[in-house]
Structure 1
Amino acid sequence: MRRVRYEKNGGPEVLFVEQAPEPEPGPGELLVRCEAIGVTLPAVRKVREGKEPAPLGGEVAGTVVALGPGTSGFAVGDRVTGLAFAGGYAELAVVHRATASHVPAYATAVDAVALVRSGLVARGAHRAGRPVAGESVLVTAAASAVGGLALQYARNGGASRVVAAVGDPAKADFVRGLGADEVVVYGDASWGEPVDVVLDGVGGALLAPAVRALAPGGRLVAFSSGGGSVDAFELLVRSASVIGFQMAAIARDQPERYARWREEQWEAFRSGVLRAPVHVVLPLADVARAHALVEGRVNCGKVVLVP
């Protein structure tokens, strides 16, 4: 089978496709023939900044071709999506059943990798901010896969005003199409009128202006892998708070809630209430281009690889 690998850290140019043995599923694992692979910023950062080269994992969707010992709830031939913690950029990937879920007949594999994980993160971050109908919400990285879905959750949740923060003004039409009332650019001196909730998927240097965008009593939800620090005085003068959110904690500690959110999300997608924007679908051999799009923050929506 074909898989993507890299032997040294660097930019997209270090990625290459090679022939490799087919993996075997262990206990509680599914072997999935991948039809779609989602490219994420954490994976891009791992290639660029990781301590040493490591197998690339991520979101996959496809058909189950084999089951490991003691694996229940799935059968060969099922269409599924889930996380491959290693070896996800490949024609065949091993997915643990705890992260796997069925893909409904009305959705494609591309829909699944664009919607499920990104949408659950967006929904969870939105809920963590404890929004009340009529409050205002600002979303950073608003043109990303997660950000685009977060805009929709804010809009559908009754926000009086939805603000999209982006790095490039050329993305304004895209985010407005997903429900943004206003668009601000990271380098702007002001992000307009303060908001009640900020959903921050960027972190780093963007945390400071994100905190300054909060109204008195506002809440900032930090769910990015980008790290960063917050000035406590800025929180003090606003009586504001910062809330950390990690989807893995919900999936691990509250599996029933996680499953319910997922089913509700699929229903919203089926009924047209929720869209899963896809920027581009590329063949596996174009993995370097896919990573370049995400690293350069060029994409509007999900970047997807297909073996």
Structure 2
Amino acid sequence: MAWTAADVPDQTGRTVLVTGANTGLGLETATVLARRGATVVLACRNPVKAKAAAVRIGGSTELLALDLASLASVREAAAEAHERFDHLDLLINNAGVMVPPHRRTVDGFELQFGTNHLGHFALTGLLLDLLAGTEGSRVVVLSSLAHKLARGGLDFDDLQSERRYSRVGAYNQSKLANLMFMYALQRRLAASDTARTIALAAHPGLTSTELGRHLPAPVRPLYALGADSVLQSPALGALPTLRAATDPRAMGAHYYGPDGPFETRGFPVLKASIAAAHSQAAQERLWAVSEGLTGVTYDLRSV
């Protein structure tokens, strides 16, 4: 039987933080969770759009300013979250950028690697104490089918695309990094005597959202407006994330995606990531690099 939004259990009393919750998959995810009773924190870069999203969602929503392309903003958001909340039940690392022109974050990182991976790596580490002490808490990382195109693994010699920049290649690498981060995080959580959190991942297949605004001009209208034969709606695209976040049967390191042809559309089921995502040596190398670049370290002994 297909898993749908109707299968999301009651979320009353739970506090959920969703990055990039003002549009697309994040907005749909936040809407469903709020309507199931959760207090949803919309962690967004644009305050005007965030306020509009809160009105649209209704229910119990709160706003948190967050720009994942700025480590200072990530630290400020995490500090504010600690002031306002005594726990988190769910952290959904949803926000991202896809195939933009070559740009750098304010900290000098290639934009896609810096936003999609490093920003979320830092945010998760800074919020981990709010999660790890909460029974049944989860971290959900949004990856993409695009990670399968990075079969050669991460290019550790050019993570910041300083030698050459490929819009698509950098995106693929960032989405592979998301999965590698999830697996490494879950391994650490499972080994902890105190953490009560699990880490999971999801991908939305091919979904019509604003994420496609940097695609080539001939393709952009199709991606933005959707086409039933090619792209699915954000409501369907959010289901893998929602299942990873709420299905009582989900376990750490589970990875959900659509069940349709080539995983491009359909209802969420367990999926497999490519072999490169499972290399523990590469995961640990990425972890060390990420700690070095962000200055954020994970110490589960202090949780």
**TM > 0.5 fold call:** no
Of structures 1 and 2, the larger Rg is shown by 1
Q: Which has the higher helix share?
A: 2
Q: If the length of structure 2 is used for normalisation, what is the TM-score?
A: 0.37
